[in-house]
Structure 1
Amino acid sequence: MSDYRRYRVPGGTYFFTVNLLERYANDLLTRHVDILREVVRETRHRRPFHIDAWVVLPEHLHCVWTLPPGDVDNANRWRIIKQQFSKALPVTERRSAVRIARGERGIWQRRFWDHVIRDDADYAAHIDYCHINPIKHGLVKHVADWPYSTFHRYVEQGIYPANWATPPSLDVVDGERK
């Protein structure tokens, strides 16, 4: 059996990647984004945490959270989010005999990837990573075109310009880039 150890910092800020079990040709998270949002809202009400950044992609998500002072329990927050999201959906997915025996759904990968944010530069890099991800995966050409992201909140707060990470146009008009 694997021995998963997580570095825990009370009240720390963490970057997460959480994946669906079936990642290929699966748009479950964006198709049911309203359910995911409600589950996260309810979880935050019961077990508070601050959302620094979040992006929901069709089959996985990235986010940065800051836990309350003295709190290290991000694992149970993820357990609740995954369970409640799964319970809100009809059982249509394939499930292995092991998952059936354990009473598990076949929606999420069992584990998640986390990283403790070390300093301001690490924080900025992971916030940017969340927001640039829809471009990285070829879902949009402009970050502002992806609706399932805290990028829009950052623009409203004046942290990012609306055209952040937009590649320069390669269109040429009268000998000049447009």
Structure 2
Amino acid sequence: MPTEQMRHGWRLRRGRVSIPGQVYSVTLVTHGRWPGLADISVARRVIGCLRDMEEMGHSETLAFCLMPDHLHWRFRLGHGDDLSVVVGQLKGRSARHIPLLRWQRGFHDHAVRNDEDLRRLARYIVSNPVRAGLVRRVGEYPHWDAVWL
């Protein structure tokens, strides 16, 4: 008998579509909300994995913000790639490089509609540390980047 969490995860995946060249906004959460992403060496390794995904052609990162226990990532999906596979590759690659890192199963995704303002959405992502009370200004937080600012 599936647990409520398993049923919830299935509902999140139902209707998920992978469109090459589509811009997606994805949120990944560490297992048990482990706050280890706040560690500078851990954060830099995760960011390196994001860059690896781009170098391999699986994604084009438009904005990201690595919070202490989760990642907000806005990217354009590579041609011939599947959204779930790309996110799974990022999770696996980062977990192999960081022994204590484990990600929760599943992820939240949103396909960005053509009429949405990418600059506004990128600013929203990178201002997460301010809204969370970690810093007073975006420039004080070290673990973000955006092409659309």
Unaligned runs of 5+ in 2: none
> 1:145 is matched with which residue?
140
Give the direction of change, closer, same or farther, for the CA distance of 1:82–1:144 in structure 2 (3 Å limit).
Answer: same
Cα distance between partner residues in 1 of 2:56 and 2:32: 29
> 1:12 is matched with which residue?
22
> 1:27 is matched with which residue?
35
Please give the per-residue CA displacement for 1:101-151, whole angstroms capped at 9, x wherever unaligned: xxxxx7111111000001243534421220110011111011111111115
Give the direction of change, closer, same or farther, for the CA distance of 1:7–1:123 in structure 2 (3 Å limit).
Answer: farther
> 1:88 is matched with which residue?
97
Whose RCO is larger (CA < 8 A, sep 6+)? Answer: 2
* TM-score, normalised with respect to structure 1: 0.67
CA RMSD of aligned residues (A): 2.2
Residue identity matched to 1:109? Q
Unaligned runs of 5+ in 1: 92-105, 160-178
Does residue 127 of the first structure (1) align with residue 122 of the second (2)?
yes
Comparing both structures, which one devotes a greater share of its residues to helix? 2
Shift in Å at residue 72 of structure 1? 4.7
* TM-score, normalised with respect to structure 2: 0.79
**Between Structure 1 and Structure 2, how many residues are aligned?**
137
**The structure with more radius of gyration:** 1
> 1:75 is matched with which residue?
84
Percent identity between the aligned chains? 26
Cα distance between partner residues in 1 of 2:92 and 2:18: 23
> 1:101 is matched with which residue?
none
Cα distance between partner residues in 2 of 1:78 and 1:136: 25
